[in-house]
Homo-oligomer: A and B are copies of this chain.
Amino acid sequence: MIGRNKSQADPADKDAHQGPGESGPSRRSLLAAAGAGSLGIAAGALGHAAFAAGPAAQAPASDVVEFHGPHQSGIATPMQDRMHIAAFDVTAESRDELIALLKDWTAAIEHLMRGADVGEFGATGGSYDAPPEDTGEAIGLSASHLSVTIGFGRSLFENSKGPRFGLEGRIPAALADLPHFPGDALEEFRSGGDLVVQACADDPQVAVHAVRNLARIAFGRARVRWSQIGFGRTSSTSTSQATPRNLFGFKDGTANLKAEEQRALDEHVWVGDATGKEAWMNGGTYLVARRIRMHIETWDRSSMREQENIFGRTKREGAPLSGGTEFSEPDFAMAGRGGPIMPVDSHVALAHPSANKGVQMLRRGFNYTDGSDGLGRLDAGLFFIAFVVDPRTHYVPMQNTMAKSDALAEYLKHTASGLFAVPPGTTAGGYLGQSLFV
């Protein structure tokens, strides 16, 4: 349904009252240029340059993220400011239908990420008697560093209700259901899902447009199970980015893995040594999603001393309480009044690799607010997203410790959960998830 090489609608099939073509920059003209082959190459080169940019790099000359590569976009990609994520239940009943959906999504994502409309004719061309192929609300907006990441939930592989897609033998061991953690208050209708689509962009309308069009393409084959919009990033994934703040007002993700740390990414994020029936995951990773409601009203009434002791960092600078600046290593041995100056139950102490057998996560979560809760309080918090090589070693132990011991835990409630196997990236002519089906 997507044609890259034919991008000009035939004006002959339009009614006489069609207005003149637009004159400003547009997705339409981008698509036309890409059809000629020129932009496709240019965007790829620029996208790669932007991706590889180090701390000294200037603003990229393009806001296109490269789609093709060994890994999917939206993981080590420098973190965009806005996100829309959606999980889907697959209603298609055959393996071929599922593969066709993944192929259609791949083609659409490639268009969307370079700022083009979905489809051969986009939002404004094609037959006048047919629905437009793209919904149109992103016409005139740039690519906005859009990245789209897809993943597979365990339910996609399972066969408990009868034959499904013949995937039951390919379940990676790491895609084990997360255990119930202390304090979990999960809402089923916001959790799980056969498929996940994470769209991140500088402009939220671009991210929403991507999810909405992928949902539309899935019509009759998969339907939205839950979706969440995140308005502000809560981590940095590049050394060139300043550390943002969460809704507790603290810098978050100071010690996060960064795109520039290739060795650490290979160790803690990318699957690299899977064999046999799991080999399809090489180049992939696992996405852990947790919707974490924050009791901000309670937090806001706690003293500055308590807030800083709970995080183990100063609020203004984000420095460890043991001194230095934001990026100083905490000194967990330094003595304070009546104990270590870094409280043993502080967030930094419990999350630090030294307390977690050296494991690290690539965190990529977003602040959210979803109206109010009917009790006079904002429903706000963190939509936590992390990418890890194996949730059994890189998420479950840490979350167990935090849920039991973290001084912050009393201000948090986990209301939703999801775990997805994120397959590797693809190259021209391939499709996302292809390794699972060969």
Q: Which A residues contact B (CB, under 8 angstroms)?
A: 15, 17-22, 24, 28, 82, 84, 86, 89, 123-124, 126-132, 134-140, 189-190, 203-205, 208, 211-212, 215-216, 219, 223-229, 231-232, 242, 245-250, 296-297, 300-305, 307, 314-325, 336, 341, 367, 369-372, 374, 376-378, 380
Select which of B123, B212, B378 is within 8 A of A215 by beta carbon.
B378
In the complex, are the beta carbons of B249 and A136 less than 8 A apart? yes
In the complex, are the beta carbons of A132 and B249 less than 8 A apart? yes
In the complex, are the beta carbons of B245 and A300 less than 8 A apart? no
Given A17-B341, A123-B249, also A132-B304 (CB < 8 A): yes
Question: Within the assembled complex, what's the spacing in Å between the Cα atoms of A215 and B370?
Answer: 15
In the complex, are the beta carbons of B369 and A84 less than 8 A apart? yes
Question: Within the assembled complex, what's the spacing in Å between the Cα atoms of A205 and B208?
Answer: 18
Select which of B226, B307, B317, B371 is within 8 A of A19 by beta carbon.
B317
> Which residue in chain B gives the minimum CB-CB distance to A328?
B19
In the complex, are the beta carbons of B216 and A372 less than 8 A apart? no
- Show 10 A/B contacts (Cβ-Cβ < 8 Å), sorted by A: A17-B322, A17-B341, A19-B320, A20-B317, A89-B376, A126-B304, A128-B304, A135-B247, A224-B372, A229-B229
> Which residue in chain B gives the minimum CB-CB distance to A233?
B205
In order of increasing CB-CB distance, the 7 nearest A-B pairs are A136-B249, A223-B376, A19-B319, A124-B316, A204-B231, A205-B232, A19-B317
Residues from chain B with Cβ under 8 Å of A132 in the complex:
249, 304, 307, 315
Given A322-B17, A341-B17, also A374-B189 (CB < 8 A): yes
Select which of B18, B127, B246, B305 is within 8 A of A137 by beta carbon.
B246
**Given A22-B317, A128-B304, 11 other A-B residues pairs in contact with their CB atoms under 8 A:** A17-B321, A24-B242, A129-B304, A131-B304, A137-B246, A138-B245, A204-B204, A208-B367, A224-B376, A226-B371, A226-B372
> Which residue in chain B gives the minimum CB-CB distance to A224?
B372
Residues from chain B with Cβ under 8 Å of A18 in the complex:
314
In the complex, are the beta carbons of B304 and A380 less than 8 A apart? no
In the complex, are the beta carbons of B225 and A372 less than 8 A apart? yes
Say how far A182's CB is from chain B's closest CB, in angstroms.
26
Residues from chain B with Cβ under 8 Å of A215 in the complex:
378
Residues from chain B with Cβ under 8 Å of A128 in the complex:
303-305
Most buried by B among A19, A205, A249, A367: A19
Select which of B21, B82, B130, B138 is within 8 A of A231 by beta carbon.
B82
Residues from chain B with Cβ under 8 Å of A212 in the complex:
247, 296, 378, 380
> Which residue in chain B gives the minimum CB-CB distance to A376?
B223
> Which residue in chain B gives the minimum CB-CB distance to A28?
B316
Question: Within the assembled complex, what's the spacing in Å between the Cα atoms of A211 and B86?
Answer: 27
In the complex, are the beta carbons of A231 and B229 less than 8 A apart? yes
Residues from chain B with Cβ under 8 Å of A250 in the complex:
136
Residues from chain B with Cβ under 8 Å of A15 in the complex:
305
Residues from chain B with Cβ under 8 Å of A303 in the complex:
128-131
Select which of B82, B139, B204, B323 is within 8 A of A316 by beta carbon.
B139
In the complex, are the beta carbons of B131 and A21 less than 8 A apart? no
In the complex, are the beta carbons of A231 and B231 less than 8 A apart? yes
Say how far A55's CB is from chain B's closest CB, in angstroms.
15
Say how far A74's CB is from chain B's closest CB, in angstroms.
18
In the complex, are the beta carbons of A123 and B315 less than 8 A apart? yes
In the complex, are the beta carbons of B123 and A316 less than 8 A apart? yes
In the complex, are the beta carbons of A127 and B300 less than 8 A apart? no
